[in-house]
A and B are shown apart, each in its own frame.
Chain A
């Protein structure tokens, strides 16, 4: 029986394993050194915040794996011997495979800052990072202040985590506005405000120069490059992005760049070895997507796809329309299609913000054809299915606005803003769009 070995028990690896099991009775082993069982990495923050226990972050009960005949092995892989088709584990054990899936995810970036390996410096990615944080920042007596370096999604989550335990946080962001490489100016400004509203000391346009140590080798303070200011702190969170976690691959003859290079079938240059999820790098970018996408959803989709290929249904990875979501402290964010930080030549934009500053939508559409290109939505939930259809059928921005009520996914009794949004659009563009009443028939005819 063919033995499929998967390195990494995150969403990509586990999805691949589940789908291979659905399609076949091949022998499956998942190897991970992080935890014995799959847990949801996105939920780590909620454990520290006390919303959940570690148990609650496991999407499957522990009996699930043996019931589905998926073997779990807790071990660290040191290298891959592609000649003999086996893995070399940390204890020098050699572990054979017939087909191998590399799904080892990411690791936090470190840019060679002085002091980046001191006690009390950590990323926020692995379960071990959470344990470290619990050790160094259990409360605001042990941790008088924490400094977070890097303004991305993990950075703001870490800020929210520490804030939940009333630990003062200084948040160093290299850019002039939070996440403005991805978010347009207005949204980025909105999130700046949300951060400040939560009494987080946000410093924009600054870089970390060095982390200073006390006599015990523990973090004492950090220095800001631009101002030379020294900020005393007990914990430093390094959240300046992530990169593929593939050190152990590099000694093999598997081709890598930043990530493990794969073709559209998620195959590496070596037969029977595949890479999926955060650690995979597309040789040629797909559509407007980046070659490496460290996103939960793409990891899952690659897992769904590679399982087909392995089970004799060769399938290319063809992700559908881009979508993503996040939560910035109390502001939920969803995006469908593309809304670039800066409009491109052919693009026009429509931005609406609610008076409380906590809700906004930003629509991107083609100047000439009026074709809808994408939407960012903040504080208002929208229907994935609706926008997926709009994008597939290349509908116009007018169509989207007229059907905003169908698109809305907020809980019942929430204040609706469609009229206000469309009125603003009509005023700015001299159109006469009328909002159609929500129709179940339309919503479900497309399902």
Chain B
């Protein structure tokens, strides 16, 4: 069986290797028509169009060559325009590393992709995604036998380089961060991977695949493979099985299939479970206008989105805790609970990180709220979004800095890329404004708690070690206190790894939910009363 596992690993790695190699081997051939159509949307400078066209059209170029020609020409063209007596500002091409490649270069690269991959999309899909998924399933499937009888099998986690910040962990870290950097800022280099899922995209929505479609598909594929790993690892634990199945369902159906199918019917791309403020663009003017302009369904989406945030989320958190969202529905949570599960023990449990966490996550919530308030103000006051309104900043400036720092860098590059270093809930723990909002409800007005079973705790620390949110669960359990922390996402792993049956996630009456104790159950009854009633 070990051999089978290794074969699975090799197949999967071959898939990844081909996928990774294809990033650097994109080929482009721009025809005149494609160039003109691109240029008419992107550029006003005739100088640039004329020069770039000569160098590009009709030639077979690698994506890197195409990119550098476009950038060089843009620079030259800017110099030319700036040297004119009267500068034609609309003809300047703004070059910024985090915008230019995705907004300026990518559309042309995507439209002009050529080469072996472009002509063999099906086969290419098979040797990348096909191999990686198949190999992954074999690799984790073998655990069914290798792990031994059902039960908690965390053997060797802190002795393995991949799960204890060793070399393999660093490789994964570089790979994750690299992928997110390319995805968010340099999708022009991802042309081949994007092409690999073109067939699926066409089949679903009728559109060509974009980097976001690739991301969505990858997300579902990765979650599926790692969900199988969860099903096997926790096959004795129904809470984990049901939870994993549900969160996987919400990702595939709500975040991937339904939005694409909506697009196929000419409706707005809409993820019904993505609540503001996690979905920070929900109240942006373009989104509101888009929804209002999409007929009855669009209006429904708008109303649904508002209801979701204002009513459904807090009511559900009151009854079930924020776990109903964070570890049962949310896509970010879904990835953390599947791909991220092998890294959960790396989260820091120190008091210091708890302090950092509270400042950061509530800071982001404040940022998101202020940004949205300003956006809505400018929307209803009919102020142009580029007009400076506060401190010399426009609504657009604030939106784009939120999008860059929080939406891309924090939630993506750091939030997921740092799994192998900081544990699997980096974004959910330190950044997610929705988690912060729900955390406040959970802490102060909820029926959810993790009950500590009397005096049974032996302070072993499995619960704290495997808490992805870095909660020092043991510090409560060993005092006989229930755990009612704002950050708990209710993954249920503390309860699963406890060797003495001390912890249970429960929704019960608010009375007695918070139960500070001095002396634990099991000691002298008089002493208990004396101490605990003080």
Contact = CB atoms under 8 A, between A and B. Distances in A.
B454 A384 contact: yes
B203 interface: no
Interface string A303-335: 011001000000111111101011101101010
A165 B527 CA distance: 45
Given A59-B461, A332-B500, A411 B238 contact: yes
Describe B's contact surface by its main secondary structure: loop
Interface stretch (A44-52, A109-117, A212-220, A420-428): A44-52
B462 interface: yes
Nearest to B243: A413
Interface stretch (B102-110, B258-266, B508-516): B508-516
B478 interface: yes
B148 A198 contact: yes
Contacts of A59: 459, 461, 474-475, 478
A296 B528 CA distance: 18
Contact of B522 (A198, A321, A381): A321
A142 interface: no
A43 to B, nearest CB: 4
Contact of A444 (B501, B512, B524): B512
B237 A411 contact: yes
B237 A305 contact: no
Interface residues of B, number: 62
Contacts of A35: none
B492 interface: yes
Interface stretch (B132-140, B157-165, B417-425): B157-165
Interface centre among B152, B455, B461, B509 (most CB of A within 10 A): B461
B522 A320 contact: yes
A257 interface: no
Nearest to A408: B504
A385 B154 CA distance: 30
Given A323-B456, A325-B456, A297 B522 contact: yes
B500 A415 contact: no
A410 B506 CA distance: 10
Interface string A392-434: 1000000000000000011111110000000000000000000
A11 interface: yes
Contact of B526 (A297, A318, A382): A318
B324 to A, nearest CB: 12
A320 B156 contact: no
A411 B158 contact: no
Given A325-B501, A332-B499, A42 B453 contact: no
B520 interface: yes
Contacts of A51: 154-155, 157-158, 462, 465, 497
Nearest to B511: A444
B492 to A, nearest CB: 6
Nearest to B519: A304
A61 interface: yes
B396 to A, nearest CB: 45
Given A57-B460, A297-B522, A384-B521, A334 B155 contact: no
B522 A411 contact: no
B386 interface: no
B1 interface: no
Interface string B4-42: 000000000000000000000000000000000000000
B375 interface: no
B151 A319 contact: no
B239 A305 contact: no
B525 A50 contact: no
B83 interface: no
Contact of A320 (B464, B495, B506, B523): B523
Contact of A447 (B159, B453, B515): B515
A381 B501 contact: yes
Interface centre among B464, B497, B499 (most CB of A within 10 A): B499
B5 to A, nearest CB: 14
A388 interface: yes
Nearest to A54: B158
Interface in B452-479: 453-456, 458-462, 464-465, 474-475, 478
Interface string B332-368: 0000000000000100001100000000000000000
A413 B459 contact: no
A370 B401 CA distance: 72
A414 B461 contact: no
B500 A61 contact: no
A326 B456 CA distance: 10
Contact of B499 (A304, A327, A441): A327
Contacts of A440: 508-509
B461 A40 contact: yes
A53 interface: yes
A305 B159 contact: no
B171 interface: no
Contacts of B149: 197-198, 330
Contacts of A383: 453-454
A158 B461 CA distance: 19
Given A301-B522, A411-B492, A440-B508, A52 B462 contact: yes
Interface string A357-376: 00000000000000000000
B496 A411 contact: yes
A429 B504 CA distance: 33
Nearest to B351: A61
30 contacts: A42-B458, A47-B158, A49-B154, A50-B156, A50-B159, A51-B154, A51-B158, A51-B497, A52-B465, A53-B158, A57-B461, A59-B461, A164-B155, A300-B455, A301-B455, A301-B520, A301-B524, A305-B527, A318-B527, A320-B521, A320-B528, A323-B522, A326-B500, A330-B152, A330-B236, A334-B501, A388-B522, A411-B239, A413-B242, A414-B237
Interface of B: 148-152, 154-160, 236-239, 241-242, 345, 350-351, 451, 453-456, 458-462, 464-465, 474-475, 478, 492, 495-497, 499-501, 504-506, 508-509, 511-512, 515, 518-528
Given A330-B152, A332-B501, A440-B509, 15 more contacts: A42-B459, A49-B156, A50-B155, A53-B158, A57-B461, A304-B520, A318-B523, A319-B523, A320-B524, A323-B456, A325-B456, A334-B501, A383-B454, A392-B525, A411-B505
The 8 closest A-B pairs by CB, nearest first: A384-B454, A330-B151, A381-B501, A318-B524, A413-B238, A43-B460, A50-B156, A327-B499
